[in-house]
């Protein structure tokens, strides 16, 4: 147990240099191949591209480290962002609308956790079903009339404003990062998450309420997905029926690239942040290089496999 907790953040040690190395190599490659890459505007856009996935991926990292999976986060993002916009469009106070969106995401996460722990439905099936339920609810909200013309200047500022030249979404994501880092590395909750993912039976026998941990982790995942939904809604100032589609896959990719184990017991908040930036870097670089859309998924997949392979290789050499 103690050994596992010491491996929570292997990002800047010799053991975990694979992912930062991929990040540096991509950065250097794009700096050389595109004259537009190293501009303030482009780097700012790069950070903005990464933060929405990053916030979702923090929650996904907790779920994967615990040994679960959450395929519903993209739909939760869309639904909770949509509910926030819909409430504001109908004259509800901005802060109440935001709290309602966050509360809804948390409740959906709790419901996922209850399905998994009490009804013994597999995490894959439970969250896969919720993916469709949440997406269907969003479609119902948007089928009669689009959700738009609701954004007040204060709401726009959340994702479009700047403080000392730094975009607000970046500052908000930094706060979320610090909170998740503290929660994962410095609290009993974080240690219990790793313990449950490492060996559920041993964790149960040691007195950890594994069901409670699972429900709380899925609640956290839902909350963070909803938070990303509010941010994205503020950024777009409109809600589309397919908003958040594929975010669950991007979040899993960011977490796994960052060193989180798909089998549980190992995760890194710092690694997730790097993984999300790598995904944004790939997308941004392909845009700058005008790569044909048909090749993008292939190239992105190859880079993900390479990043994970390098990380696993460097880790195995020092284990």
State how far the Cα of 118 lies from the Cα of 126, in Å rounded to an integer: 12
φ, ψ for residue 238 (rounded to 5)?
A: -160, 160
Give the model's pLDDT for residue 5: 43
Q: Are strands 147-148 and 238-239 parallel, antiparallel or unpaired?
A: antiparallel
Q: Give the model's pLDDT for residue 19.
A: 77
What average pLDDT does range 150-164 have in this prediction?
Answer: 93
Q: Helix/strand/coil (H, E, C) string of the chain?
A: CHHHHCCCCCCCCHHHCHHHHHHHHHHHHHHHHCCCCCCHHHHHHHHHHHHHHHHHHHHHHHHHHCCCCCCCHHHHHHHHHHHHHHHHHCCCCHHHHHHHHHHHHHHHHHHHHHHHHCCCCCHHHHHHHHHHHHHHHHHHHHCCCCEECCCCHHHHHHHHCEECCEEHHHHHHHHHHHHHHHHHHCCHHHHHHHHHHHCHHHHHHCCCCHHHHHHHHHHHHHHHHHHHHHHHHHHHCEECCCCCCCHHHHHHHHHHHCCCCCCCCCCCHHHHHHHHHHHHHHHHHHHHCCCCHHHHHHHHHHHHHHHHHHHHHHHHHHC
pLDDT class of 310 with cuts at 50, 70, 90: low
Provide, rounded to the nearest whole percent, the portion of the chain with pLDDT above 90.
61
pLDDT tens for 127-144 read: 999 999 999 999 998 887
Gap between the Cα atoms of 19 and 36, Å rounded: 24
Q: What is the pTM of this model?
A: 0.89
pLDDT tens digits, 3-42: 444 344 444 444 456 678 888 888 888 888 888 888 888 8
Cα→Cα distances 221→39, 62, 247, Å: 34, 8, 13
Q: Which pLDDT does position 269 carry in this prediction?
A: 95
Closest alpha carbon to 114 in 197, 212, 32: 212
Q: CA 221 to CA 246: how far, in whole Å?
A: 16
Confidence grade of residue 289 (pLDDT, cut at 50, 70, 90)? confident
At residue 102 the predicted structure's pLDDT band, cuts being 50, 70 and 90, is very high
**Higher-confidence position of 103 and 5:** 103
> Has residue 124 got a pLDDT over 90?
yes
How far are the Cα atoms of 18, 192, 219, 263 from residue 215, in angstroms, in the given order? 33, 13, 6, 18
Query: Residue 174 pLDDT > 60, yes or no?
Result: yes
pLDDT for 65-97, tens place per residue? 999 999 999 999 999 999 999 999 999 999 999
Q: How many CB atoms lie within 10 A of CB 133?
A: 14
pLDDT score recorded for residue 288 = 85
- What pLDDT sits at residue 295? 76
Confidence category of residue 306, pLDDT binned at 50, 70, 90 = confident
| Band of residue 319 on the pLDDT scale cut at 50, 70, 90 | low
In the structure encoding, which two tokens stand for residue 302, read together?
Answer: 């190859």
Q: In the chain, where are the structural domains located?
A: 2-6+13-29+36-313
Given a cut of 50, is residue 297 above it in pLDDT?
A: yes
Supply the mean pLDDT for the chain: 88
Q: Could you report the per-residue pLDDT of 222-277, keeping only the tens digit for each? A: 999 999 999 999 999 999 899 999 899 999 999 988 888 888 898 999 999 999 99
Candidate from 19-28, 75-84, 163-172, 304-313 with smallest mean pLDDT: 304-313
What's the CA gap between 46 and 282, in Å, rounded? 10
CATH 3.40.630, applies to 2-6+13-29+36-313? no
């Amino acid at each position: 147990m103690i050994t596992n907790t010491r491996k929570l953040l292997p990002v800047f040690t010799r053991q975990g240099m694979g992912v930062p190395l991929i990040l540096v190599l991509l950065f250097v490659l794009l700096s050389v191949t595109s004259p537009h890459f190293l501009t303030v505007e482009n780097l700012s856009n790069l950070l903005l591209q990464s933060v929405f996935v990053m916030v979702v991926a923090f929650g996904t990292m907790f779920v994967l480290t615990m040994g679960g999976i959450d395929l519903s986060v993209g739909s939760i993002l869309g639904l909770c962002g949509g509910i926030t916009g819909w409430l504001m469009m109908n004259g509800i106070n901005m802060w109440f609308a935001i709290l309602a969106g966050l509360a809804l995401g948390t409740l959906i996460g709790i419901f996922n956790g209850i399905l998994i722990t009490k009804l013994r439905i597999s995490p894959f099936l439970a969250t896969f079903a919720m993916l469709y339920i949440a997406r269907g609810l969003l479609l119902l909200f948007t089928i009669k009339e689009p959700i738009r013309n609701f954004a007040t200047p204060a709401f726009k500022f959340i994702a479009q404003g700047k403080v000392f030249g730094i975009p607000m979404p970046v500052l908000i994501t930094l706060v979320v990062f610090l909170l998740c880092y503290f929660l994962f590395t410095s609290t009993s909750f974080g240690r219990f998450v790793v313990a449950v993912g490492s060996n559920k039976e041993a964790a149960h026998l040691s007195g950890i309420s594994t069901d409670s941990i699972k429900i709380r982790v899925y609640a956290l995942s839902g909350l963070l997905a909803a938070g990303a939904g509010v941010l994205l809604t503020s950024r777009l100032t409109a809600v589309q029926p397919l908003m958040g589609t594929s975010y669950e896959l991007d979040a899993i990719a960011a977490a796994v690239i960052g060193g989180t184990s798909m089998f549980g017991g190992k995760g890194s908040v710092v690694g997730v942040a790097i993984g999300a930036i790598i995904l944004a870097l790939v997308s941004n670089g392909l845009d700058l290089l005008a790569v044909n859309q048909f090749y993008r998924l292939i190239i992105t997949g190859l880079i993900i496999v390479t990043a994970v392979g390098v990380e696993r290789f460097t880790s195995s050499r020092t284990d």
